Amino acid sequence: MAYVINDDCINCGACEPGCPVSAISEADGKRVIDADTCIECGACASVCPVGAPNPQ
């Protein structure tokens, strides 16, 4: 299952450059992950300071 970013997101952007498939973008004041593009690698979760990205 693709990762999703929960409401704990502080919109710091740390996750976006680490995504190897560029599945993360900004929307409505937080980062979001395109489920169709996500390869479930967990790179975003490993760099997030608040643990917002989680497997869906």
One-letter amino acid for residue 13 of the chain: G
| CATH number of the domain that residue 9 is part of | 3.30.70.20
Q: How many domains does the chain have?
A: 1
* Residue 45 lies in domain: 3-55
pLDDT of 12: 97
Kindly report, residue by residue over 2-56, the tens digit of the pLDDT. 999 999 999 999 999 999 999 999 999 999 999 999 999 999 999 999 999 999 9
End-to-end CA distance of the chain: 6
In the chain, count H helices and then E strands: 1, 4
